[in-house]
C-alpha cells in the first residue's frame, strides 16, 4: 500500500486546502505544480517518464515536474524533485505561473497552476543520476528539433509538455524572467 500524499488544491476563492494527490487527478481539481527546464546553451534536458508511472508512462516530458507537498513552497518543491528524479541540484530561476487542464489518460485529469523554473548548466560537468522508478531515459535537444518531433509524433510527449511548447514556442517563457 502506498502512502497518501497531500498536495495544495485551489478553492474557488483562491485559498489553498490539502487534497490527496490521486483524488485531485480523479476529480480534475485545480492544484499547484512546478515544472523545471534545465538548459545547456539552447539545449534542453528532457526526460522519458518511467514505464511504471501512474500516468503518461513512457512519454517524453520537460526536465522534471511535480506537485508541492502540502505546506511546501514551490521553490523547495522544484529543488526536491530535481534531486529525486535526476540526482542533481542546481540553482533555479523562477519564471511565470501558468494554468492548464489536460486529460492524462486512465480517467485522470491534470488541472494545474504551474510555476515554471529554469537552470543553465554545463552538460559536460553535470552528473545526472536518473531514479529508475521515475525516469527511463534523458537526452538533450534543441527547441527547433523538439518542436519538429512533437509535430511528427505528438503521442510520444506528455500533454502538459505539448501545451507548454504550444504556448511558448522556442520556450519563450524564459524571456519573461
110 is in an annotated binding site: yes
Residue 56 designated active-site: no
145 is in an annotated binding site: no
79 is in an annotated binding site: no
Cβ neighbours of residue 44 closer than 8 Å, sequence gap 6 or more: 37, 38, 62, 63, 140, 141, 142, 143, 146, 171
127 is in an annotated binding site: no
25 is in an annotated binding site: yes
Residue 65 designated active-site: yes
Give the burial string for 66-105 (b: 16+ CB within 10 Å, else e): bbbbbeeebeebbbbbbeebbeeeeebeebeebebebebe
Q: Which residue among the candidates 56, 65, 77, 79 is catalytic per the annotation?
A: 65
User: Which cell numbers in the block locate residue 51?
Assistant: 514505464
129 is in an annotated binding site: no
Q: Which residue among the candidates 56, 64, 79, 112 is catalytic per the annotation?
A: 112
Annotated binding residues for Mg(2+): 85
Residues annotated within the binding site are 25, 31, 67, 85, 110, 112
Residue stretches of the annotated binding site for Mn(2+): 25, 31, 67, 110, 112
Active site residues: 65, 112
Amino acid at each position: 500500500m502506498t502512502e497518501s500524499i497531500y498536495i495544495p488544491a485551489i478553492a474557488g476563492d483562491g485559498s489553498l486546502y490539502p487534497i490527496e494527490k490521486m483524488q485531485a487527478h480523479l476529480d480534475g481539481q485545480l492544484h499547484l505544480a512546478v515544472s523545471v527546464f534545465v538548459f545547456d546553451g539552447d539545449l534542453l534536458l528532457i526526460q522519458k517518464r518511467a514505464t511504471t508511472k501512474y500516468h503518461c508512462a513512457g512519454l517524453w516530458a520537460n526536465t522534471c515536474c511535480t506537485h508541492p507537498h502540502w505546506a511546501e513552497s514551490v521553490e523547495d518543491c522544484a529543488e526536491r524533485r530535481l534531486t529525486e528524479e535526476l540526482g542533481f541540484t542546481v540553482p533555479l530561476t523562477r519564471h511565470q505561473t501558468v494554468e492548464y487542464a489536460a486529460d492524462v489518460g486512465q480517467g485522470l485529469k491534470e488541472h494545474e497552476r504551474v510555476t515554471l523554473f529554469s537552470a543553465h548548466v554545463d552538460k559536460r560537468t553535470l552528473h545526472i543520476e536518473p531514479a529508475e522508478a521515475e525516469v527511463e531515459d534523458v537526452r538533450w535537444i534543441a527547441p527547433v528539433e523538439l518542436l519538429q518531433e512533437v509535430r511528427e509524433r505528438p503521442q510520444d510527449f506528455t500533454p502538459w509538455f505539448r501545451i507548454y511548447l504550444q504556448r511558448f514556442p522556442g520556450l519563450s517563457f524564459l524571456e519573461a524572467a
